[in-house]
Amino acid sequence: MITERVSLTEDQRDCYQEIVNVAMGQAADRLARLLDAYVVLPIPQVNLIEANDLHMAIQGAEDNHAISSVCQGFIGSGIAGEALLLFNDTSFEDLATLMNYSGPLNRYGELELLMDVSSVLIGACIQGIGDQLGIHFNQGHPVVLGQHCQVADIVKSGNHQWNKTLAIEIHYTLEHVNIDCNLLLLFTEDSVAKLNNKIDYLLD
């Protein structure tokens, strides 16, 4: 594996934040229309971190609340990454109400809701980033990483194939209702240099 040193300047970080800001706004708009609710948009966190420190980078990961998680890979123009949605389990009740879901809220019901939300948030966000950078990302199938588990169980699996990762974290919450989730976009170490090139082009 090629491992040239990857780094991130402040200008590049600002530029990533702006791009993510636009993409997450598009995703939030889709979710807001789906749920007929207002999505509170945070400032996205953009960091180049050691893959092993990932669990520390996740906001609220130390809280011991149960989560359910879906991941979905994406690839295009030699840039590859993984989108990870960490959904707070206490959010399902309100989500079911907003989605007019009338079935039983058991593991299967929750899974259905989780897949609906993740396809909107992940799909729109990846597409939004790709559009701005002129990359067409192909998305893999979503994979359920776990239900009713801890953040640590999801991200502390060890056995990472990369050392550094560009981690983008978006903490979505909804106004007036109890729905919150974290969307993490992780880019492989090899992708960062190519992404930085595209960012530098925008900065020129």
Partner 1 sequence: MARALPPEWEVEVFFANDGLEGLEVIRQGNGEVVFLDLTMPNLDGYGVLETIRKEDLPAMVIVVSGDIQPDAQTRVKNMGAMAFIKKPIDAEKARAILTEYGIMAGGADDH
Q: If 0-12 CB within 10 Å is exposed, 13-18 middle and 19+ buried, where does residue 43 land?
A: exposed
Range 127-146, binding partner 1 (CB under 8 A): 132
Count the neighbouring beta carbons within 10 Å of the beta carbon of residue 51. 18
Q: How far is the CB of 32 from partner 1 (least distance, A)?
A: 5
Q: How far is the CB of 10 from partner 1 (least distance, A)?
A: 12
> Which one of 8, 22, 57, 66 is in contact with partner 1 (CB under 8 A)?
22
> Which one of 18, 112, 116, 190 is in contact with partner 1 (CB under 8 A)?
18
Backbone angles phi, psi at 58, to 5 degrees: -80, 125
Residue 28, interface with partner 1 (CB under 8 A)? yes
Q: Which is nearer to partner 1, 14 or 62 (CB)?
A: 14
Range 29-58, binding partner 1 (CB under 8 A): 29, 32, 38-39, 41-43
Residue 21, interface with partner 1 (CB under 8 A)? yes
Token couple for 70: 């879906």
